[in-house]
Amino acid sequence: MNNLDTDWQKTLNIFKNQIDDKIIFDSFFTTLQVKDIIDSDVTITVDTQWSLDGVSPYLEKLEEIYNTLTSGHYQLHLETEDEYNKSIQQKNDLMLFNDNLNSDLKFENFVVGNSNRIAQNASLAVAMKPGISYSPLFIHSNSGLGKTHLLNAIGNYAKSKDPFTKVLFTTSENFVNEYIQSLSNHTIDEFNYKYRHIDILLIDDIQFMATKESSSEIFFNIFNSLISNKKQIVITSDKPPRDLRGMESRLVSRFASGLTVSIDTPEFETSKAILRKKIEIENVDYPITEEVLDFIASHFNTDVRELEGSLKRLLFYKLICEEKRDCIDLNFALEAFSDTYKNQPIQKKELTVSNIKKCVADYYNLTVSQINSKSRTSNIIVARHISMYLVRELIKDISFIQIGHEFGGRDHSTVMKACDKVQKKLEKDLNYRQAIDDIKNKLV
């Protein structure tokens, strides 16, 4: 017997001792059953309409005993078994709604790197144990960095573990439209029922709800109901909760009450890993050289959508190319991207050590402090060496000693070695030379 039944049996026993006419009790009350509790509404069923008429006058008394016993504020509702079963059937039909998940977006094809590791880990934790620790989970990032992918991955994973999990993926825009439609169709009860009975609610792009006051109100209520029933909510946005301008402050504070994580622009290695994954998914059956991946990862890396777009463009170019080629190499890629690439606006900068460092750092998606740091991470070392080399080449009469000083007090011999290394590498690595030329173009 669960808590629901135990409390109810105790209520009936107390009531039985209080009622004078035991025949009434035996005739009407022995078939009473608690069916469910939603928020503060408790549904009790009786076997027939006749019993229902017999029990109704005592409902208030039963409610009082039940609330005293459970220290709650419940309202009891009586229904016949038939009515209840019918409404359950209707509700079940209602629950057969489309989860809107995109089955292609899974954890398996989400590439993890430093830029998105925390968000991916949090999403996986939520998918494995929905509603337990991190509800709501709030994921924010600039456009095209994988928020929608992670939302779908959570839903797909949870459903693969338990197909009966009620998952709903929606955008805040769809939520608002659905709400407005339910008002005009007089189906607001169904709307409410549907959203309050979801196990995992995945809401994409919440920022669009900011100015929709009446929808915010209903969302607030649904949100509270799901959270208090230990359900999982995952929300994405293009900014963190505190920056959601126009959003009601009570909603913002609810969003911030869970776990908030962000996704950054993919760093060089992650961009390459994403490209490799996409190539695998596209079943590309000809080789694409490492230099090409380096080229795309360093030129089209504002977001993952841009990476995907450039790869598509490359594959398309190969498809329509009349000349037969066995592989995609850097020359071919440069041809494929010649127009975009040439048209990129170039902003010249004043030639100072800090501008050179900043330009190299931007190019490699790093910060100037990483370049100055003692970090031995390979992409940081590459950027540091190139910065030293360019400073030496572009700033007249600057000595190795001065450069060492500008790069966190390094010894002049370290700078000399770095410059030498860069010089040797650009003589034999076309892609590397291309990268240095690009940075130079932005500077001079």
Ligand X SMILES: Nc1ncnc2c1ncn2[C@@H]1O[C@H](COP(=O)(O)OP(=O)(O)OP(=O)(O)O)[C@@H](O)[C@H]1O
For ligand X, the binding residues in 81-140 under the rule CB under 6 A are 105, 109-111, 116
**What does the alpha-carbon distance between residue 398 and residue 180 come to, in Å, rounded to a whole number?**
67
The 214-243 site mask, x for binding ligand X (CB under 6 A), equals ------------------------x-----
DSSP string of 23-58, one letter each residue = HHIIIIITT-EEEEEETTEEEEEESSHHHHHHHGGG
Q: Which is nearer to ligand X, 149 or 385 (CB)?
A: 149
For helices 430-443 and 290-299, what crossing angle results, to 10°? 20
x/- track of binding to ligand X for residues 259-288 (CB under 6 A): ---------------x--x-----------
Binding mask 298-327 for ligand X (x = CB under 6 A): ------xx--x-------------------
> What is the distance in angstroms between the CA of the first residue and the CA of the last residue of the chain?
80
Q: How far is CA 106 from CA 120, 130, 200, 352, in A?
A: 11, 16, 16, 46
On whether 147 is known to bind a ligand per the annotation, the reply is: yes
Q: Is 148 annotated as a binding residue?
A: yes
Hey, what long-range contacts does 100-108 have (CB within 8 A, 24 or more apart)?
Answer: 100/168, 100/169, 100/170, 101/152, 101/155, 101/156, 101/159, 101/167, 101/169, 102/152, 102/169, 103/156, 105/148, 105/149, 105/152, 105/153, 105/156, 106/152, 106/153, 106/156, 106/157, 107/153, 107/157
**Closer of 173 and 308 to ligand X (Cβ):** 308
The single residue among 130, 136, 146, 258 that binds ligand X, judged by CB under 6 A, is 146
Q: For residues 299 and 308, what is the distance between their CA atoms, to the nearest angstrom?
A: 12
Per the annotation, does 258 bind a ligand?
no
- Residue 24 vs 112, nearer CB to ligand X: 112
Residue count at the site for ligand X (CB under 6 A)? 20
Least distance to ligand X, CB of residue 144, Å: 5
Maximum distance among all Cα pairs of the chain, rounded to whole angstroms: 109
R_g (Cα) of the chain, nearest Å: 32
Residue 274: CB minimum distance to ligand X, A: 5
Residues 156-195 vs ligand X: string with x where CB under 6 A? Answer: ----------------------------------------
CB of 127 vs ligand X, minimal distance in Å: 15
Q: Which residue lies nearer to ligand X by CB, 67 or 142?
A: 142
On the 0-12 / 13-18 / 19+ scale of CB atoms within 10 A, 222 is buried
Q: Is 342 annotated as a binding residue?
A: no
Residue 254 in contact with ligand X, rule: CB under 6 A: no
In angstroms, what is the minimal distance from the CB of 104 to ligand X?
A: 8
Residues 359-398 touching ligand X, rule: CB under 6 A, are: none
Q: Which residues are annotated as a binding site for ATP?
A: 144, 146-148
Binding site for ligand X (CB under 6 A): 105, 109-111, 116, 141, 143-149, 205, 238, 274, 277, 304-305, 308
